[in-house]
Amino acid sequence: MPAKPLIIGDKEKDLQRIESEAYREAQTIQGVADAKATEIYAAAYNQSEISRDLYDFVKTLETYNRVIDSSTTLALTTESELHQLLNGIGQNP
């Protein structure tokens, strides 16, 4: 009867090894993907001044999306970039 605990112990050890290897491989894949994404962003960002402006604009909108929600109250001057952006929505260029 002592064989069962040994089998269960081996199963647990094998499971931990498999999970550890899978985690390490997933982290490696994520690192490679992050590096490639950074390379693509850098290449796109550096194509022209317009591409840099667009990238900055998109990142600004992403930041606004993360920090402003329906419970946020903003006090903006008419000179602020955000006010000008929001005021210009829906208007013809």
Instruction: Spell out the domain ranges in the chain.
Output: 1-46, 49-93
How does pLDDT run across 27-79, given as a tens digit for each residue? 999 999 999 999 998 887 788 888 888 888 888 889 888 988 889 898 889 88
Write b or e for each residue in 2-14: b if 16 or more Cβ atoms lie within 10 A of its Cβ, otherwise e: eeeeeeeeeeeee
pTM over 0.75? The answer is no
Measured CA to CA, the distance from residue 34 to residue 26 in angstroms comes to 12
Q: CA-CA-CA-CA torsion for 32, 48, 79, 58, nearest 10 degrees? A: -30
